[in-house]
Chains A and B, each alone.
Chain A
Amino acid sequence: MSIMVGRKAPDFEAPAYHKGKFGSVKLSDSLGKWVVLCFYPGDFTFV
């Protein structure tokens, strides 16, 4: 599956840390809302 604007974002479910708790995020739970996904190289990196 290739990533392309105008096409569906691949759904996923993954573990997450959120406000003091461990849980999980399922992208499709945000259907009906706008989403910003921000990948970044790593915690404790400088930028």
Chain B
Amino acid sequence: MSAVADKYPVFQELGVDVYSISVDSQFVHKVWNDNELSKMVEGGVPFPMISDAGGNLGKIYGVYDDKAGVDVRGRFIIDPDGVIQGMEVLTPPVGRNVAETIRQIKAFQLVRETKGKEVTPSGWQPGKVTLNPGPDLVGNVWKVWNPKDNK
């Protein structure tokens, strides 16, 4: 979670509210923040750390492991209308790539700003070519985009 906290300024620039959620109580969240995370991120965790005691939120979002009694590593990107645009669920041993989350948010924001007139091909980064969906593009993606463009 310190990796997400470390990138919080970027999330703020993008106008993103960040929330972390685990089944731990808010009291344990405080102790973890004060005793460990604040040593990795200056000032500690800057966003609300939600307590999901009993795993009810995890159950609703499909990320509660009832055998282990914990919420697994689920990450959801939600747009300003409250619609889920992206989700990723990992088993506990492998951490997230926060840079990829940021890349996806930038891509979803661009699609939203252009009202879907521009869409982003695989591995898109800001400034790279976007695609304009429509009859003219059918069968012609190869003319405007190549997987090697991602390098």
Contact = CB atoms under 8 A, between A and B. Distances in A.
Interface in A1-35: 1-12, 14-20, 22-23, 25, 27-28, 30-35
A16 B25 CA distance: 8
B137 interface: no
Interface residues of B, number: 67
Given A40-B22, A43-B22, A34 B17 contact: yes
Contacts of A38: 1, 4, 18-21, 74-75, 96
B120 interface: no
Interface residue SS majority, chain B? mixed
Contacts of A25: 19, 48, 50
Given A3-B62, A6-B84, A34-B14, A23 B23 contact: no
B16 A34 contact: yes
5 contacts: A22-B30, A34-B16, A35-B18, A39-B63, A42-B22
Interface of B: 1, 4, 11, 14-24, 26-33, 36, 44-53, 57-58, 60-63, 68, 70-87, 92-96, 101, 105, 108-109
